[in-house]
Amino acid sequence: MEQAQTNAQRIYDQVLTFATLYGGRILLAIVTLIIGLWLIGWVTKLLSSVMTKRHVDRDVQPFLLSLLNAVLRVLLLLSIASTLGVETTSFVAIIGAAGLAVGLALQGSLANFAGGVLILTFKPFRVGDLVSTQGFTGSVEAIRIFDTILVTLDNKTIILPNGPLSTTSIVNISTRGIIRVDQVYTVGSQNDLDSTKACFQNVVDGCPYALKDRAHDVLIAKLNANSRDYDVRVWTKSETYWATYYYMLENVARQFGKDGIESPKPQLFVTTED
């Protein structure tokens, strides 16, 4: 019984000694962590507001904010370590060695960081551009340290690593501001040629997205056995590409019904032998 009391007293004394020596530091470290995280959030919001007011390039803003956030968190970690009595120089050396090991293990992440720098430097696209790459088509929502965020036309969020993105082919639909919508329609050859072209032209003329200062084309692309292929080309603004595309599909179908334009009729060839 006395042995148990002695052990309990020893443990109590050790806890009391530890609390006396390090309790203040631990409490200060916790306070530093809380205040530090709050300050990081405040500084990040402040910088975001300043960059917005000064009209800093929208492509650069999320990249700089992400980088600043990472740097401030590392500095906060060093500050907490110093508060706890850890030698900062030794801690920095440990972080450096760990950073080297992690860097070797995460070469892909470093490549993504380098890719982000290349994208921001050469600007193959900007925030808000409509692009098509790696099988995805969508608007660029943000360019971050390691990845770029696309929002597709059906409102899906696609996260693309910057490394592969900086070295792959990218179709920037928004670069020139205007784009041509190309569609092919197959119509039965029994329909009058001029009437068919006039049908297409009426739809093009009525399209609210078609640019009035551009020439639009309705051309015969191919003559088939019982049909004709028509190329219909409409110029529009980049941001109304899909609106124009679907407007043409729907209204061409309606106009076909009004004008009596028919689809190709199936042909049956019968060969007889005497």
Give ranges for CATH 1.10.287.1260 in the chain. Answer: 2-105
Domain span(s) for CATH 3.30.70.100 in the chain: 178-259
E strands in the chain: 130-133, 136-143, 147-152, 157-161, 171-172, 178-188, 217-223, 227-237
**Predicted model pTM:** 0.56
The answer, yes or no, to whether residue 158 has pLDDT greater than 90, is yes
200 in Cβ contact with 185 (< 8 Å): yes
Mean pLDDT of 62-69: 77
185 band by pLDDT with thresholds 50, 70 and 90: very high
In this structure, which CATH number among 3.30.428.10, 3.30.390.50, 3.50.50.60, 3.30.70.100 belongs to the domain 178-259? 3.30.70.100
Task: Please write the tens of the pLDDT for every residue from 67-76.
Answer: 788 888 888 8
Q: Which CATH class is domain 115-172?
A: mainly beta
2-105 topology per CATH: Helix Hairpins (1.10.287)
Q: What is the C-alpha separation between 209 and 237, in angstroms, rounded?
A: 8
Please tell me the distance from the alpha carbon of residue 62 to that of residue 39, in angstroms, as a whole number: 18
Three-state SS at 207:
coil
CA proximity to 189, closest of 229, 161, 243: 229
Tell me the per-residue pLDDT of 224-263, one tens digit each, with 9 for 90 and over.
888 899 999 999 998 898 899 999 999 999 999 999 988 8
- Supply the pLDDT for residue 247: 95
